[in-house]
Amino acid sequence: MAAYIARRVGQAILVLWAAYTATFAILYLLPSDPIAIMLAANNVEVDSLTAAQRAEAAARLGLDRPVWEQYVSLLGGALRGDFGVSYAHHVPVTDLLAERLPGTLALSGAAIALALAGGVALAFLATWSPRGPVSALLRRLPAVGASVPNFWIGLVLVQVFAFALGWFPAVGGEGIRGIVLPAITMAIPTAAVLAQVLTRSLDDVLGEPYIATARAKGLSRLATQARHAFRNAALSTLTILGLLVGSTVTGAIVVETVFSRHGVGRLAQEAVLAQDIPVVQAIVVLAAAAFVVVNLAVDLLYPLLDPRIARVGKVSLA
């Protein structure tokens, strides 16, 4: 198990390095001028600088060095947790992330919890209900939820529950009331995907011989599905959940824009529009880190759900 964990951690480090390197390369190829971006944030025209002033500004930002030196210097800073200073905000990038991250984490956590509860409940009901109109409707709902864009769901929720009913704030908002509508907006597509995968897995597992044996011993359909089928069917759902959790930053960009929430997603949008390279690099690394950490946790949970995986791993290591 120690060798497996070490290998997975090594792969995670490789993914983070690749994400940072690819981001640096892409941003370097963009036709952007960091000096002009910083001046524009202070309402100063770049044409007003003399050649000496431009050279001084480039030296201060480290832009007068070769590209490979810039890359090594920035990578070394990133390894120490220092992603530099934002071109647009003139503050350390880590300070910006520390300010915006708690709101995004709260939103993502609430959305994932709602998606898990809704997706599992929908799949369980769809496979537990006898075949008929109700079961058919429950099986079709996930396809609808997965096909509807995030921004459309958010606009409908705002129109109904904020403007028409006045139950929740339309934009911004603090505390639980301010997070309900954005969390639901992010949760619906995620819950739909989870429900689709879990429904198919439950259908396959419920056809296995050991399920028929459990029913023959007198267990009810509900008890058989809850005690025996769900645990094995959850493996594929757990894999999809790991991928979905890792993509919450991209989902937060749309949702935080619709609801005017000042989180990491909104910061990513602002940074891309302003070509704020240090902020974009930090957010990409943060998203990649979330992805690899969650998927590593998912991999380590597999043997707990299905002990056969642990036994197969021991055999292969032997």
Q: What is the reported pTM?
A: 0.72
In a domain, 141, yes or no: yes
The per-residue pLDDT for 47 is 63
| Per-residue pLDDT reduced to its tens digit, 263-315 | 887 888 888 777 777 888 888 888 888 777 777 777 777 666 555 554 444 43
Average pLDDT for 47-55: 67
In a domain, 85, yes or no: no
Average pLDDT for 46-60: 67
Quick one: 202 and 278 in the same domain?
yes
Helix 307-317 to helix 2-29 angle, to the nearest 10 degrees?
A: 90
Residue 316: is its pLDDT beyond 60?
no
* Three-class DSSP labels, the chain: CHHHHHHHHHHHHHHHHHHHHHHHHHHHHCCCCHHHHHHHHCCCCHHHCCHHHHHHHHHHHCCCCCHHHHHHHHHHHHHCCCCCECCCCCCEHHHHHHHHHHHHHHHHHHHHHHHHHHHHHHHHHHHHCCCCHHHHHHHHHHHHHHHCCHHHHHHHHHHHHHHHCCCCCCCCCCHHHHHHHHHHHHHHHHHHHHHHHHHHHHHHHHCCHHHHHHHHCCCCHHHHHHHHHHHHHHHHHHHHHHHHHHCHHHHHHHHHHHCCCCCHHHHHHHHHHHCCHHHHHHHHHHHHHHHHHHHHHHHHHHHHHCHHHHHHHHHHHC
Q: Which residue did the predictor score with more confidence, 317 or 113?
A: 113
In a domain, 231, yes or no: yes
Phi first, then psi, for residue 85 (nearest 5°) are: -115, 140
Quick one: 69 and 143 in the same domain?
no
Quick one: 118 and 30 in the same domain?
no
Quick one: 124 and 267 in the same domain?
yes
In a domain, 89, yes or no: no
| Per-residue pLDDT reduced to its tens digit, 96-152 | 888 888 888 888 888 888 888 888 888 888 777 777 777 788 788 878 777 888 778
CA distance 234 to 245: 16
Output the CA–CA distances (angstroms, integers) from residue 185 to 90, 194, 248, in the order listed.
33, 15, 12
Q: Which residues form the domain of 266?
A: 99-317
CA distance 118 to 124: 10
Quick one: 13 and 122 in the same domain?
no
In a domain, 128, yes or no: yes
Work out how many domains the chain is built from and give that number: 2
The per-residue pLDDT for 308 is 55
Phi first, then psi, for residue 135 (nearest 5°) are: -65, -40
| Domain CATH number, residue 162 | 1.10.3720.10
